[in-house]
Structure 1
Amino acid sequence: MRSEVVIVATAGRSPRIECSGGIAARATRADTVHLVSSVATPLGGDTISIRVVVEPGARLRVRSVAATLALPGPATAESHADWVLEVAGELDLDPEPTIVAAASRHFAATRVTLGADAAVRLRERVQIGRTGETQGFWSGSLHADVDGAPLLRHRVELGEGAPGDDVIAAPRACVSELTYPRTDPAPLGTPLMLAGGGSLSTWQGDRL
């Protein structure tokens, strides 16, 4: 299944939303949109594509109503989620965690384009496995530019098959939070000040 969501925030009006496939989006406040899974997704073979546009002077908060559960499909264990964020105003993106269950292999990619006056907070939380599960794999990349100049190129891989994996002590959970232009650290994690402004805080451990 392919699911697509487009959210456009314009100053002075409610967000415009278009959805197809297994993901729906609902405006819950004037500046807030919640994502809702209408079916079980992502399963192996599924692709989720989400595009968020925040126009100049607009403010948008994006949340989800529940955790995302990635499961293997009948033909493949691999699923994908792609986020494209075009921000000229202010965006706060903080969905519930992604749980990579059973032997799923989930690949997430986020591409952020920021205008010169944009502000953003992006938080991503991932857990490999439900209780007693350790065989899942997750790969997450974050590519961010500001006014045409590179800000960040970041990738994390967790779980079975990741470069740093081992059966004794490798982390099975992570939290990444990007803020721009603010540099105050996130409550959880090790902060890294970015040369182009803003900061990236990262944390890894066994369980969220």
Structure 2
Amino acid sequence: MRSDVLIVARPGRTPHIEGRGAIAGRRTQSDTVHLVSSAATPLGGDAISIRIIVESRARLSVRTVAATVALPGAATVESHATWTLEVAGELDLDPEPTIVAATARHHAATHLTLAANGAVRVRERIQIGRTGERQGFWSGSLHADVDGRPLLRHRVELGHGSYADDDIAAPRACVSELRYPHVATDAAGTTLELAGGGGLSTWQGDRLHSRP
């Protein structure tokens, strides 16, 4: 199944939302949208595409109502999700964790384009496996530019078959948080200040905490 969502935030107006497939957007406050799944997704073979546009002087917060559970499908174990973020105003993107269950292999990519005066907070939380499961795999990439200049190229793999895979002590959970133009002082893990402004905070471990 393919799911597509478009959210456009304009100053002085409620967000515009379009969608098809298994994911829909719901306005929950004047500047907040929650993503809701109407069917189980992503299953193996599914592709999710979410595009968010925040115009100059607009503010938008995007959340999800529940964790995302990636599951293997009947024909393939692989699924894909792509986030395209075009930000000239202020965006706070903080979905609930993605759980990669059973033998699922989920690939996520985030492409962020920021205007010179844009501001962003993007947090991603990943857990390999439900209780007792260790066979899932996740890869995530973050490609961020500011005013046409590269800000960050970041990629992480977790789980079975990843570069860091180890039966004894390999991490099975991670949190990544990008903030621009400010550097986080309250994010989980280690924060790296970026040469172009802002900072990337990363944490890895065996299990996500309730409030990492």
| Same fold, TM-score > 0.5, yes or no | yes
Residue in 1 that maps onto 2:27: 27
Matched-pair contact (CA < 8 Å) for 1:185–1:201: no
Residue in 2 that maps onto 1:148: 148
**Counterparts of 1:169 and 1:24, CA distance in 2:** 38
Among all aligned residue pairs of Structure 1 and Structure 2, give the percentage whose two residues are the same amino acid.
74
1:71 aligns with 2:63: no
- Aligned positions, number: 208
Q: Please identify runs of 4+ aligned residues in structure 1 that moved more than 6 A.
A: none
Pairing 1:81-92 to 2, within 5 Å after superposition: 81-92=81-92
Let me know the Cα RMSD of the aligned residues: 0.5
Matched-pair contact (CA < 8 Å) for 2:184–2:201: no
Pairing 1:37-186 to 2, within 5 Å after superposition: 37-186=37-186
Matched-pair contact (CA < 8 Å) for 2:5–2:17: yes
How far off is 1:123 after superposition?
0.2
Task: Please report the TM-score for the alignment, with normalisation by the length of structure 2.
Answer: 0.97
How far off is 1:188 after superposition?
1.1
Secondary structure of the corresponding residue to residue 74 of structure 1 = coil
* Paired letter, 1:103: T
1:9-66 deviation line (CA, Å, top 9, x unaligned): 0000000000000001001000000000000000000000000000000000000000
1:2 aligns with 2:20: no
* Paired letter, 1:18: E
**Counterparts of 1:185 and 1:137, CA distance in 2:** 30
- Gaps in structure 1 of 5+ consecutive residues: none
* Paired letter, 1:166: D
How far off is 1:164 after superposition?
1.1
1:124-179 deviation line (CA, Å, top 9, x unaligned): 00000000000000000000000000000000000001011110000000000000
How far off is 1:119 after superposition?
0.3
Task: Please report the TM-score for the alignment, with normalisation by the length of structure 1.
Answer: 0.99
